[in-house]
Amino acid sequence: MHHSFLSVIGIIQSGRQVRELESWLTGLYAELAANFSDFEFVLVNNHSDLTAIDAVIRPLPEALRKNIFLLNLSTPVSRDNALLAGLDRANGDYAVVFDFDFAHKPTLITRMWEQSQTGFDIVYLRGPERRLPWAYRLLYQLFYGILHRYSNLRIDPSAHHTRIISRRALNSLLRLRENSRYLKAIYALVGYNTAALAVEQPLEPEPETSFGEQFRTALVAITSFTTFLRSLLWWIFVSSCLVAGMAIFNAVRVRLTNMDIFGNYHQTVSGWAYLVVMISVFFAITCLNLYIMSIYLSNIYSEIKNRPLYIIESVKRY
């Protein structure tokens, strides 16, 4: 028997999850009761049918029901914000985010806890692949490529949502009170020793989450945790300078020789070269101003988020 208090968090946001709730609870209860001294279930109802949830929970044994806390959200929110409500309520030494997809493998919760005892504060499940249409896979590869290239965060593209989080890592995570959240990035931002537990179950799209919602989440992650847009504006500025330089050179060449840079003959028109030069210069200046403003906006955006400058993992005395 392990003397640890576990808070197991489940998000209910569809009829499918309501139907799977009984097997999810009973399977985890049997595993936790056999291996842990204290535990609780924190269920977050993200605007599902409360009557159907009650119909599932009320017939359960009292020994199981007394460990359940049901949080009913007044309006539907994103999955990450619903999960935050559960993490805020978790009282355990460890918080466990446990997806309904793993309801048939309750022993994973003990395996994650055992691995956390080897010096890791966060242990997550890693799948072998992501099962998506090829077009969606390309978009995911682009998304994670941007995160890796334009941020210091190291996010595993094959990570499931299911994971165990120690109390000290959870306390640090809850300090980051951002309105637009992408929890996988926040896990990486918080840091602490992290390990992956390989499972055979691949990552599959959630039927409850539309492509539009996933796209908005990707935009939030890219704009909140990377310098991609600022770098993009820099390359636009550099490209604009090259285009402006070629246009100016071409205009001057046509004015002097009646031949453009491709060797084509052109009849010179009075004022044409001057107009091209002025447009090219002001185009480059406009792109430069956009790049400078992007730096200021990026700095302001970072300041108003008020993220901690550092997180102390532990203090050791000798």
CATH of the domain at 115: 3.90.550.10
State whether 260 and 153 are in the same domain.
no
Q: Which two tokens stand for residue 114?
A: 């055992």
State whether 63 and 169 are in the same domain.
yes
SS3 of the chain: CEEEEEEEEEEECCHHHHHHHHHHHHHHHHHHHHHEEEEEEEEEECCCCHHHHHHHHCCCCHHHHCCEEEEECCCCCCHHHHHHHHHHHCCCCEEEECCHHHCCCCHHHHHHHHHHCCCCCEEEEECCCECCCHHHHHHHHHHHHHHHHCCCCCCCCCEEEEEEEEHHHHHHHHCCCCCCCCHHHHHHHHCCCEEEEECCCCECCCCCCCHHHHHHHHHHHHHHHCCHHHHHHHHHHHHHHHHHHHHHHHHHHHHHHCECCCCCECCCCCCHHHHHHHHHHHHHHHHHHHHHHHHHHHHHHHHHHCCCCCCCCCCCCC
Nearest to 38 by CA among 79, 91, 85, 102: 91
Q: Which residues contact 75 (CB under 8 A, 6 or more apart)?
A: 47
Please tell me the total count of domains within the chain: 2
Contact 54, 18 (CB under 8 A): no
In a domain, residue 318? The reply is no
State whether 236 and 204 are in the same domain.
no
Q: Which two tokens stand for residue 209?
A: 């989450």
Q: Which residues contact 211 (CB under 8 A, 6 or more apart)?
A: 136
In whole angstroms, what is the distance from residue 315 CA to residue 16 CA?
Answer: 45
State whether 298 and 164 are in the same domain.
no
pTM exceeds cut of 0.75: yes
State whether 214 and 111 are in the same domain.
yes
In a domain, residue 295? The reply is yes
Nearest to 128 by CA among 98, 158, 154: 158
**CA-based R_g, the chain, Å:** 27
In a domain, residue 97? The reply is yes
In a domain, residue 317? The reply is no
In a domain, residue 212? The reply is yes
In a domain, residue 238? The reply is yes
In a domain, residue 311? The reply is no
The pLDDT value recorded for residue 314 is 45
In a domain, residue 314? The reply is no
Contact 77, 48 (CB under 8 A): no
The pLDDT value recorded for residue 110 is 92
State whether 279 and 177 are in the same domain.
no
State whether 51 and 171 are in the same domain.
yes
How does pLDDT run along the chain (318 residues), one tens digit per residue? 788 899 999 999 888 899 999 999 999 999 999 999 899 999 988 888 888 888 898 888 888 988 988 888 888 888 888 888 889 889 999 999 999 888 889 999 999 999 999 989 999 999 888 887 787 788 888 888 888 888 888 888 888 999 999 999 999 888 887 766 788 888 888 888 899 998 888 877 776 677 777 777 787 787 777 888 778 888 888 888 888 788 778 777 777 787 777 777 767 667 766 677 778 777 778 877 777 777 777 767 666 766 655 455 545 444
State whether 180 and 272 are in the same domain.
no
Maximum Cα–Cα distance for the chain, whole Å?
A: 94
State whether 233 and 213 are in the same domain.
no
The pLDDT value recorded for residue 303 is 65
Q: Which of 225, 250, 267 is the last residue of a domain?
A: 225
Q: Which of 176, 200, 225 is the last residue of a domain?
A: 225
State whether 271 and 158 are in the same domain.
no
195 bridge partner residues:
123
The pLDDT value recorded for residue 318 is 42
State whether 32 and 86 are in the same domain.
yes
Which residue range(s) make up the domain with 265?
228-305
Q: Which of 225, 251, 267 is the last residue of a domain?
A: 225
SS3 label, residue 257: helix
State whether 277 and 186 are in the same domain.
no
